Structure 1
């Protein structure tokens, strides 16, 4: 089934697999029907929402059914970054029915009823002799927490539709008002971040204080919790938020966090959504495990995404900014339009513990030789070197961000002419 509708007076194109008809399996004609609708959506620049509950390609039709999925996959890719594509998973899905959602921008799943797997439990048992339940194989915990395929997790179908509606309101950006009020001065913001660099805290209240009241919509909430991404509004205009989360893994960046943030940044850049980066990062996670996982390749995705993005980009250093992670989290060197720091911020090549292991005590005179400039971790030192634009009062963070985005509203930066870059996948 395909059709046209509106959500909050905004148009969308929608298709649905009917599980009551041959298990929602897709045949040649269904594939062509959905593909035709996707072409129309692209011509009119209207988002697509897919309701997915399908057993995959219709076995009885053979290769023509596979070609039907190929037609859809091709358009998922062709229209990526052209129109937003959202997949809602409303039951079990297998084969091509999961590859198409994986190519879309956002996947929404419903607890206890949504499942996604390449092949179902019975096929796996027949081929590999492994026994597993459908829920353990492709349920919401697997996709929302373990592998990150799921961006939003709803408790029921109604909530899934509500999430879709809210998400679409952010994608349809509005113009920012330029009228500041007393609410924009955040008196207690500085109290939310402990002055001691080793103390943990939750960055979500900081985000919610800075953005418009009740506007923050977190994406990928249950996956790679050490980094937070999501949409919000600032004086009515949609913005993307990327923030370290000191509450988990001290806000350090691992492979999953890099992938999560990089994909979100690239979505924002596709649809001209400005980005705020809130930084409190200990660095990229060291260790044998992370090197084996490919932290270099995954971390490079984060660097690539920020450097590639041409939308207005502003960074605020809340507390720590150590090592290569300082550069990766939207530094001036990567093209940040403005970079602010709170007075208590620390910017350094590495944290105190790492530095002490590098600079050994000289046994001859029993003095530690660091050869570092005085106050080299101070944000004022970085500001003097041009790597920080301004040291701001934490209470004025929202005001500074509003003023900065108003100033950057007409930003027009173009990338070099090329077919496309080669992100380290």
Structure 2
């Protein structure tokens, strides 16, 4: 018995599925500067590695004899592939079919993609371009009833955040559930000008009197500055490269350890410039990123979220090939003080380190929490104590360098006091409950005001107290374990990663990632 008829039908169904929304809609999609979904997958993953799951899903059209004549494929593709030789799960919307709205069992496939990543313990990459399963108004007429919102996939999505790396790329106008899927990630990217993200799009928002175009309402310039999305790229290809790079620092799942890459020396072996990089005037700013780049393996620093929470620099890097999570203050913004956004950014990055068992390196120049009326109104203290609590709950190894300032409650979170950590100070370091300049007026108010020359008295007291704030005085009392020549910093980091490499644990943490 031959099954050729069935094999021919199988080939036909696959052929019809690959046409996506049809030539006209595919070309219209290209005209908007966006790649068709299957081409996106081809450019993201290793050549020939994509194995689709549910390729035959869709809505078939049949003649009077029950013979298939056409098929509108599902607008959601999923399957397994490889990225840089490592297995991953792909979940991708097809905007050319019903604008990515609920159609062709997309909801079931979406849930299947999340479960596949969770149960196979594989990283998940979402290519989001539409509502991603939330349905459309037209769908009400098609079905004859409206759907009660149910997030059947959300438990699996939450479990994935605690189990496998999740990357989401917003590649078009994403709204509702599609927007939520982008934000529910360890790392997310938008494409400048061609992708937007909304709770509800311009036609709906116009009903409340706000007439805005798509970029005005939800362009990348908005969401990379408010922290909803981590990064902005100029093209889809750049987004694919960012996704691949992010995954290269992380393990397949929490049950594995992150792979060690080739050990690449720093860009230069001459660190003498670090001795003079910190200005002697405490209010003078300097650039932290060159310091970061000089200490890690050359070209290995991947900054995340550079346009929000800007008083804090965070990202992933490598020391001797070992992946690490990195925090560094940026004195160019609020002098390095933490505001609401910086605290949120700190928690997100620390959660990634905790979930995937990455050691932490922290370069500190923190004058405290941001002060003033705006800080009080936005609840900076509430978000700040959440960040400090995350530090106290941290279990991964820490290595901290006090580069300059470490003042107040915010600086107290430079590492957890409940366990042993590596900690060093540069000679430029200064610390205390609050800066001397700000505390003198309170502590010596009566003495200063009663003096014949208050300004001279204040200067006299300041000079006297400053003499007692030398980090060497603190080292005598073991307040700081070691004060080091800045040129030693790289070798100390190499020792740190080598010592803690065998301690990198596996398995889930007590609680998951907080998006």
Common topology (TM > 0.5):
yes
- In structure 2, the partner of 1:104 is 185
The 1-side partners of 2:263 and 2:513 are apart by 39
Which residue does 2:332 correspond to in 1? 247
Contact 2:265–2:297 (Cα < 8 Å) also in 1: no
Q: State whether residues 26 and 54 of structure 1, in contact with CA within 8 Å, keep that contact through their aligned partners in structure 2.
A: no
Q: Are the counterparts in 2 of residues 81 and 267 from structure 1 also a CA contact under 8 Å?
A: no
- Change in Cα spacing, 1:234 to 1:187, as seen in structure 2 (3 Å) is same
TM-score for both structures, normalised by structure 2 = 0.75
> C-alpha offsets along residues 76-95 of structure 1, whole Å, 9 cap, x if unaligned?
11221210111000000111
C-alpha displacement at 1:419, in angstroms? 6.5
Q: Given the superposition, is the C-alpha separation of residues 250 and 181 from structure 1 closer, same or farther in structure 2, using an over 3 Å criterion?
A: closer
- Shifted more, 22-31 versus 3-12: the winner is 22-31
* Structure 2 residue matching 1:195: 3-state secondary structure: coil
* Deviation digits for residues 194-238 of structure 1 (CA, Å, limit 9, x no counterpart): 222111011000000000001111000111211100011100011
1:80 alignment partner in structure 2: 161
C-alpha distance after superposition, 1:340-384 (max 9, x if no partner):
1001210111113211221215155665679x9774422233334
Partners of 1:71 and 1:302 lie apart in 2 by 31
For residue 198 of structure 1, the aligned residue among 274, 279, 283 is: 283
Cross-structure match for 1:395 = 487
Structure 2: segments with no counterpart, 5+ residues: 1-76, 252-257
Match among 432, 436, 444 for residue 352 of structure 1 = 436
Pick from 69, 78, 99 the counterpart of residue 2 of structure 1.
78
Instruction: Give the alignment's Cα RMSD to 1 decimal.
Output: 2.9
The match for 2:422 is 338
Q: 1:97 to 1:352 in 2, by over 3 A?
A: same
Q: Is the 8 A contact 1:328 1:334 kept in 2?
A: no
Q: Which runs of 5+ in 1 are unaligned?
A: none
Deviations 1:297-348 (A, max 9, x none): 1101210222212111111011111111220222x52646111100121011
Give the aligned length: 418
Rg larger for: 2
TM score, norm. by length of structure 1: 0.90
1:287 aligns with 2:372: yes
Equivalent residue runs for 1:228-377 within 5 Å: 228-330=313-415, 333=417, 335=419, 337-359=421-443, 360-362=445-447, 363-364=449-450, 375-377=467-469
- Please state whether the residue corresponding to 2:200 is helix, strand or coil: coil
Q: 1:28 to 1:259 in 2, by over 3 A?
A: farther
Give me the whole-angstrom Cα distance separating, in 2, the residues matched to 1:178 and 1:383.
34
Partner of 1:91: 172
Flag the 1:168–1:414 CA change in 2: closer, same or farther, 3 A. closer
Taking the aligned partners of 1:141 and 1:182, their CA distance within structure 2 comes to: 32
Per the TM alignment, residue 143 of structure 1 is displaced from its structure 2 partner at its CA by 0.2
Query: Is contact 2:364–2:406 with CA below 8 Å preserved after alignment?
Result: yes
